[in-house]
Structure 1
């Protein structure tokens, strides 16, 4: 079956026909209808699961959903296509076809114009990455501890800003409207990336995103800037037979690689790893991974979310906790490779134990000690009288 490129208008109209509450119910999600603008659901997508509806919200007007526990405040709601991809494991095309069948909508025929638009976008992103690479200006990335050989391997570059990229792409026949649609330039006609170190993101050998890191935090505004922000950096170069290292950021990943700690990926943020990323790793044959996020609250919360998504795909996961306030790149630069490796080896927990410890951190020691005392007494009683222990088990199972 040939892949069809769907128009934005078709997808938007299809999503308007969706009843997201019923769609979630159809897939076994526990949903409660509300009297106002929201329905509610028990969140499946994070480690804050409870037998209530505190976190999951379905906006009945927009037909979008959001988990207030694991999705950042600034993130908008997700739609039915996101749900089918992340929860039901469908591809984008499968999700569209499922929704169209439910709505009784015909799938459009393949449109050669749309296929050509896709080809042009791929070419524009490739040319943009090559343009940035040709600018040099890698001092910032070198100062962060990334080696020159690693920067060349990943085609790192620099975005000068203004209309430099726009004028370059116009020489190849790309229009202002095209570049605006693909976010390569903003609504004022200026380059989207400016005064930033650039790292292309690849998938199946094609540039699918461009990450820009501000080289002067005081002038460039937002430190981390992606064109789209939904890809998994480094995934094209991993060896699935080795343990995959999952970092928060591209900087951490490439600094680690510069110190001989390769086979890494990054989602571009502690809470940006998704089930789509986990499924992608699984399809590539990955069966073991270690999460090496920053040693702060965001890193711990992100590790909980990431670990659960990986385990859901049958990938064995461990979590390496870094010292408070430390990130992998900083630790490598200030203390060296051996210090990071030794720390990871000494503070590496399998995900179930890591998750348990994070839960226990919510309780005071008095409550934990009370529980341990009761459990110790129960085990001692069972050991002294095995028959009583069996009776207790039967009673508990009744």
Structure 2
């Protein structure tokens, strides 16, 4: 039987949503944290077939069959392991690597286990130092944010020492090969040939796989002139930033219970919300999301409330993330915060209850986009004819990309309300644009910012189901 890299199989099982795969064959009903249906492998009238998306397993309590998502495809399609892997990989868009020989696969497994052990050692080392006098600045930084010892313990914060004599990499070098220590991302090679710790004088924040183990770190600078402000682990055989969510290992149960996830940018955004009792939250670590992250999150929920910084960078990331999330089938809302505040600072100053109110008042993404465009052109302030004309032209150009007639009509209603023009006129113009397949687009639209490019691609998706419960 061909052998695939363990890392590939792990990734495949992570991104292949077992509920979605099983639902292709078995109608499932949500029952608490699991799903239930009639077993496809034996005849029954009372459902005894269970799917647990948290664990990624299925089990029939009638006939006893069970396994992971790959095993389900094997049984469903009556194929072998390799064929089931290829079927799943094609479904989720993963390239199947060349099958490996036994020795190569065993070597990859051994390397992975060694890297996990290194990160376990590093996390324990940093955590132990957090309570020492040398880590006073790190503790002050955390205490200034109002984070409690219980929160520190839950997230495993630690301290990377400032001086070389206190470094931990000699312990790694005494246990693991030099090249493997460098591949771990925990150490770097200096020009003089010395292997030194990557992280110095930083508050250390462990990053976990969604299944639990530490696979990387984020290090926050403790000196004002220390750059970069945040230093993250490089990508390694364990860690790919675009396939990882910060905090998901802790927050997945709450996401399932609440039925939606709050998506924030930063480590401390997440910690503040978690401490305030809003625990259905994950962090993107300051970057726009990838489809792989979308598929990972899809195992827990299909509803997202974005809560990014209100500055231009944060809103640009919100637009790019929303574009991906909608393409992956999510319902997306946007929670707006006052200028100059992020979730961390807002919760510190206003409290968790006030933030929860912001979540309740979150806008469907379509409404958010229309409001931004209307504000940009002064529609709410009695804009001049030129501003209204530009606003309508932009929105009609967007509407021309909506392939569904019913969705276009819904969009027309909202656009008419914003522009204070009759719905019939708007619908007529949208239909003309749709029939022509093209529309005269002004320079302002041709040269869109990334946010406005995202708007054009998103509107027709979101108009169909804007509600986030």
TM-score of the superposed pair, with normalisation by structure 1: 0.66
Which residue of the other structure, out of 353, 368, 385, is the alignment partner of 1:354?
368
Deviation digits for residues 357-383 of structure 1, max 9, x if unmatched?
Answer: 34445545434534469976654779x
- Quote the residue 1:146 is aligned against: 147
C-alpha contact 1:322 1:344 (8 A) present in aligned 2: no
Which residue of the other structure, out of 240, 249, 262, is the alignment partner of 1:236?
249
- TM-superposed CA distance for 1:211, in Å, is 1.0
- Please, which runs of 5 or more residues in structure 1 have no aligned partner? 8-85, 98-105, 383-388
Q: 1:339-350 residue pairs with structure 2 within 5 A?
A: 339-346=354-361, 348-350=362-364
1:211 and 2:218 are equivalent in the alignment:
yes
Which residue of the other structure, out of 69, 88, 93, is the alignment partner of 1:90?
93
Taking the aligned partners of 2:249 and 2:221, their CA distance within structure 1 comes to 25
Q: CA RMSD in A?
A: 3.3
Secondary structure in structure 2 of the residue aligned to 1:317: strand
Q: 1:312-391 residue pairs with structure 2 within 5 A?
A: 312-346=327-361, 348-363=362-377, 365-366=383-384, 367=386, 369-370=388-389, 371=392, 379=423
Which residue of the other structure, out of 159, 165, 169, is the alignment partner of 2:168?
165
- Quote the residue 1:272 is aligned against: 288
1:200 and 2:210 are equivalent in the alignment:
no
Q: 1:1-398 residue pairs with structure 2 within 5 A?
A: 2-4=3-5, 89-91=92-94, 95-97=95-97, 107-110=99-102, 111=104, 112-136=106-130, 137=135, 138-161=139-162, 162=164, 164-171=167-174, 173-188=175-190, 189-203=195-209, 204-218=211-225, 220-228=226-234, 229-230=241-242, 231-237=244-250, 238-239=252-253, 240-241=255-256, 242=258, 243-269=260-286, 271-282=287-298, 284-346=299-361, 348-363=362-377, 365-366=383-384, 367=386, 369-370=388-389, 371=392, 379=423
- TM-superposed CA distance for 1:396, in Å, is 7.5
Tell me which moved more, 355-364 or 256-265.
Answer: 355-364
Alpha-carbon distance change, 374 to 3 in structure 1, aligned in 2, over 3 angstroms: closer
- TM-superposed CA distance for 1:145, in Å, is 2.5
Taking the aligned partners of 2:434 and 2:152, their CA distance within structure 1 comes to 60
- Please, which runs of 5 or more residues in structure 2 have no aligned partner? 9-88, 235-240, 393-415, 437-469
Alpha-carbon distance change, 156 to 89 in structure 1, aligned in 2, over 3 angstroms: same
- Quote the residue 2:448 is aligned against: none
Alpha-carbon distance change, 183 to 308 in structure 1, aligned in 2, over 3 angstroms: same
Alpha-carbon distance change, 87 to 222 in structure 1, aligned in 2, over 3 angstroms: farther
Deviation digits for residues 168-204 of structure 1, max 9, x if unmatched?
Answer: 3235x12332221222111222211111111111111
Identify the structure with the greater helix proportion: 2
Taking the aligned partners of 1:373 and 1:379, their CA distance within structure 2 comes to 8
- TM-superposed CA distance for 1:134, in Å, is 1.1
Alpha-carbon distance change, 212 to 187 in structure 1, aligned in 2, over 3 angstroms: same
- Quote the residue 2:37 is aligned against: none
Taking the aligned partners of 2:364 and 2:208, their CA distance within structure 1 comes to 30
- TM-superposed CA distance for 1:232, in Å, is 1.1
- Quote the residue 1:54 is aligned against: none
Taking the aligned partners of 2:142 and 2:348, their CA distance within structure 1 comes to 13
Deviation digits for residues 66-88 of structure 1, max 9, x if unmatched?
Answer: xxxxxxxxxxxxxxxxxxxx998
Deviation digits for residues 140-184 of structure 1, max 9, x if unmatched?
Answer: 22222222111101211111142512023235x123322212221
Taking the aligned partners of 1:197 and 1:374, their CA distance within structure 2 comes to 48
Taking the aligned partners of 1:396 and 1:4, their CA distance within structure 2 comes to 48
- Quote the residue 1:83 is aligned against: none
Taking the aligned partners of 1:142 and 1:295, their CA distance within structure 2 comes to 25
Alpha-carbon distance change, 396 to 272 in structure 1, aligned in 2, over 3 angstroms: closer
